Structure 1
Amino acid sequence: MTTATLPPGPPSPRFLQGVFALLAPMRGVRRMRDRYGDAFSVNVPVFGRATVISDPAQVRQLFTAGPDVVENLEPNLGRVLGPGSLFALTGAEHREQRKLLVPPFHGRRLAAYEKIIEEEAVREMASWPQERAFATLPSMMRITLNAILRAVFGAEGAEFDRLRALLPPAVALGSRLAVAPIPRTDLGRWSPWGRFRMARREYDAIVETLIAKAEEDDLDRRDDVLALLLQSRYEDGSRMSHGQIADELLTLLVAGHETTATTLAWAVERLRRHPDLLRELVEENDAGGRALREATILEVQRTRPVIDLVGRQVTADALELGPWVLPKGSTVLVGITLVHDDESIFPNPRAFDPHRFVDAKPDLHQWIPFGGGTRRCVGAAFATMEMNVTLRTLLRDFTLVPTDERDERWHSRGVANAPAKGGLAVVRRRRSPSSPRTTTTTGTRP
């Protein structure tokens, strides 16, 4: 037997550590890293005792370990997304399901979705007020929601309207319940879990209607993910069940809606405070370029990752990470902000400098806003393209007015960390969006 050797950490009770984590999530992990080193132990509600790591070599080792060594963290979003969600699946089931979900988000499929995203961005931005401050996060939420409903669900008409009304509050509630205890008694609509279950039942009924309509249609003519999943087959020739499809579509919505919209709001917040960069981006955009814009999206995700932690559970008898030996069942959390703040990886890490990515693509074990390894976000390419198209449209159609106001603070929305004021913007329209100039961004993901 290998003797467990855990890194040091604060001795305070679990409750107090949990309060500290809620009140000062970013400042707290940085303080503990400064005090205890690039690996430390914590004891917090829901996850219990866990090891937080940020050393690049240890992160790489964790992400490249197979499912016989580490598996998905428990509890996770699978408890709200359903048992057929990628978050809930493990081992061979996860691997087989992931194979079916990768093709819709690559190659020519992305080009088909790009037009949808630009249409939704133009439509939403047409309502933007001029010459006065407004929060862009709600607007970005509508763009990403409408785009993903069309691209992923193939929704239109009555089903589109029902999902558009149902999903935002359900996703917001679910993101908070993802790490909350599940009550033993179902109090129905009088409890958060009861309200979420009611919303989930309505969602399932809508998806069943969409599936029935799709099955009556010519699936070969459709590019939406629902149609592709209905046509997909496992290695043994079997199909995904309707329940599995519903769970995976909801997973794609959650993974590609709120987090993408939040990153876009952070992009607005960052660009308004860097006028020289903003000027460069506009000039590049007008000339049909994209390199600096793509690098800016990478840098926004590095400096303002909307998800701060990604975790794994040790399934082997023991896991050696550097000098530490973690026993079976241990929780390992990767501090994304801590990795992105590492001076040895990103010189002058607190500076917002997209030029660092113009000629150098990031190492995906060091730049990790989408997680890493076999559980890296399956929709990363779609999300990157969506951010690229939306930012391109904004820079083309509007002048984003710089500001000398202080940086917006981080605000927790449950799963995602958003700008506290919603990414305030002041804009002026540059030209009519009626004839948008499209520059293909497909295939530009990191």
Structure 2
Amino acid sequence: MPTATLPPGPSSPRFVQIAHGLTRPRRGMPRWRDRYGDAFTVTLPVFGRVVVISDPTEVRQLFQTRADLADNLEPNLGRVLGSGSLFALGGEAHRRRRKLLVPPFHGRRLTAYERIVEEEAVRQMATWPAGRPFPALPSMMRITLNVILRAVFGAEGAEFARLRDLLPAMVTVGSRLAVLPLPQVDWGRWSPWGRFWAMRREYDAIIGGLIARAEADPALDARDDILAMMVQSRYEDGSPMSRGDLADEMLALLAAGHETTANTLGWAVERLRRHPRVLRELVEEADAGGRVLREATIAEVQRSRPVIDIVGRRVTADSLRLGRWTLPKGHTVMVNIGLLHENEAVFPNARAFDPYRFIDAKPDLYRWIPFGGGARRCLGAAFATMEMDVVLRTLLRDFTLEPTDEPGEPWHSRGIANAPGNGGLAVVRRRTAPARPVAAATAGRSAPERGTDAATSA
């Protein structure tokens, strides 16, 4: 067996490194990178001793590594989303489940969901105050939650009203618990885990009823919601998903399809207010029916303000040679998304907010990785991108977003995801021009010429 060769790292006590990772995750990683280079070994909460990498060649190699050599992290999000969710599965089980879940999130079906996204955006934005600051993030959370509920279940009713109240609390508590060790003592409702498990039991009861109703629906074939498709889906051997696995996957879809997308939209508002030329050209493009700059802007928001810090793998072979390093079996290797996105060799002038970098060059999916990469790349990436595009298009069409010269908002950790510290403060005024139909808004793909004073502030 090859001798393990790990990168250097801090020598401070483990509890100091763990405390640093919990309290200052965005500051600690760049400091360690500056001191030890683009790979270092450090102790992180939940995962223990890990190798953190950000060299693009090593990142690509890791994402291309077969599952029998390096597979799913342990522990993983299955501890809050359920052991039957895609986030918890590895190896062949992950491959089979992923193949089963691909159809609802790709192709023409996404076009059908656009109407739902626009309806929810228009409904929520109608409540926005005119001419005074308000945090956009809560509105974005409500938009994305309502969208994913309607896309998953396809209807409204008492159960959906209860889920609208229950899920935000579950996601908030679960996101924070996911980065903490499991408790050794069950304190029941007096502990965060106890409160989370109580909410999970209520969720399971609601979802169990919806699954049973779908299974008994004689018109199930005519439905186009995700639950109907998942109930009817079959593995290669003809077997269906179990009810427990369906409930776990529903929770994973509802949580992942709600929190991260909303945070990115909050960051989009925060970034655009501080880059008036980009904002002005986005409005001009939207009015002309284009979308190229808008798509590039969404990609740049995700590059410069990634809402997820890390993705990773666990070595399952006896050892894994990864670039300059040899990792032993059971060792964890993490990709720090922020460090890769700030790499000047990958993205020149990386600290600048510059959507134009993506106008003529589509993101390299091994270097631009807000959705992770490889076989475990986020299944809902296309859905989330469509949703962000429609929400931003609706905002630009119906409102004037006022720019500001205030400093950028600080990063705020919500546990798993990073959000703008002030909630993406916005000041808007409704535009007087009549709203254009969706068909006109999706036509055309020409981008404006690149401005000579493209925004450069971080």
TM-score of the two chains, using structure 1 as the length reference: 0.97
Aligned to 1:129: 129
SS class of match (1:310)? strand
1:334-368: per-residue Cα shift (whole Å, max 9, x none)?
A: 01011101111111100100011011111100000
**% identity of equivalent residues:** 72
CA contact (8 A) 2:45 2:180 kept: no
SS class of match (1:67)? coil
Aligned to 2:252: 251
In the alignment, the residues of structure 1 paired with residue 226 and residue 440 of structure 2 have an alpha-carbon distance, to the nearest angstrom, of 23
Moved more, 83-92 or 16-25: 16-25
1:303 Cα deviation after fit? 0.1
Question: What letter matches 1:67 in structure 2?
Answer: A
Aligned to 2:450: none
1:112 Cα deviation after fit? 1.0
1:31-62: per-residue Cα shift (whole Å, max 9, x none)?
A: 11111111111013321111000001100010
Question: What letter matches 1:232 in structure 2?
Answer: S
CA contact (8 A) 2:171 2:255 kept: yes
**Structure 1: gaps (5+ residues):** none
In the alignment, the residues of structure 1 paired with residue 281 and residue 289 of structure 2 have an alpha-carbon distance, to the nearest angstrom, of 12
In the alignment, the residues of structure 2 paired with residue 135 and residue 438 of structure 1 have an alpha-carbon distance, to the nearest angstrom, of 30
Aligned in 2, Cα 1:440/1:219: closer, same or farther, shift over 3 Å?
A: farther
Aligned to 1:307: 308
In the alignment, the residues of structure 1 paired with residue 285 and residue 442 of structure 2 have an alpha-carbon distance, to the nearest angstrom, of 14
Q: How many residue pairs get matched?
A: 443
Aligned to 1:94: 94
In the alignment, the residues of structure 2 paired with residue 283 and residue 195 of structure 1 have an alpha-carbon distance, to the nearest angstrom, of 48
1:221 Cα deviation after fit? 1.8
In the alignment, the residues of structure 2 paired with residue 149 and residue 204 of structure 1 have an alpha-carbon distance, to the nearest angstrom, of 15
CA contact (8 A) 1:118 1:393 kept: yes
SS class of match (1:299)? helix
TM-score of the two chains, using structure 2 as the length reference: 0.94
CA contact (8 A) 2:273 2:404 kept: yes
SS class of match (1:179)? coil
1:111 Cα deviation after fit? 0.8
Question: What letter matches 1:30 in structure 2?
Answer: P
In the alignment, the residues of structure 1 paired with residue 388 and residue 255 of structure 2 have an alpha-carbon distance, to the nearest angstrom, of 16
1:10-40: per-residue Cα shift (whole Å, max 9, x none)?
A: 1001111122223322221111111111111
CA contact (8 A) 1:153 1:249 kept: no
1:154 Cα deviation after fit? 2.6
Aligned to 1:295: 296
Aligned to 2:200: 200
Question: What letter matches 2:166 in structure 1?
Answer: L
Aligned in 2, Cα 1:134/1:372: closer, same or farther, shift over 3 Å?
A: same
Aligned to 2:220: 219
In the alignment, the residues of structure 2 paired with residue 434 and residue 348 of structure 1 have an alpha-carbon distance, to the nearest angstrom, of 37
Question: What letter matches 1:280 in structure 2?
Answer: E
Matches within 5 A, 1:66-215: 66-215=66-215
Aligned to 1:402: 403
In the alignment, the residues of structure 2 paired with residue 138 and residue 121 of structure 1 have an alpha-carbon distance, to the nearest angstrom, of 12
**Structure 2: gaps (5+ residues):** 446-458
In the alignment, the residues of structure 2 paired with residue 54 and residue 98 of structure 1 have an alpha-carbon distance, to the nearest angstrom, of 27
Moved more, 75-84 or 424-433: 424-433
1:87 Cα deviation after fit? 1.0
CA contact (8 A) 1:152 1:224 kept: yes
Aligned to 1:236: 237
Question: What root-mean-square deviation, in Å, do the aligned CA atoms of Structure 1 and Structure 2 show?
Answer: 1.5
CA contact (8 A) 2:397 2:435 kept: no
1:139-160: per-residue Cα shift (whole Å, max 9, x none)?
A: 0000000000000133411111
1:321 Cα deviation after fit? 1.4
In the alignment, the residues of structure 2 paired with residue 383 and residue 126 of structure 1 have an alpha-carbon distance, to the nearest angstrom, of 22
Aligned to 1:368: 369
SS class of match (2:300)? helix
SS class of match (1:329)? coil
CA contact (8 A) 1:308 1:337 kept: yes
CA contact (8 A) 2:77 2:87 kept: yes
SS class of match (2:438)? coil
Aligned to 2:449: none
SS class of match (1:312)? strand
CA contact (8 A) 1:400 1:425 kept: yes
Structure 1 ranges of 4+ moved more than 6 A: 432-435
Moved more, 265-274 or 86-95: 86-95
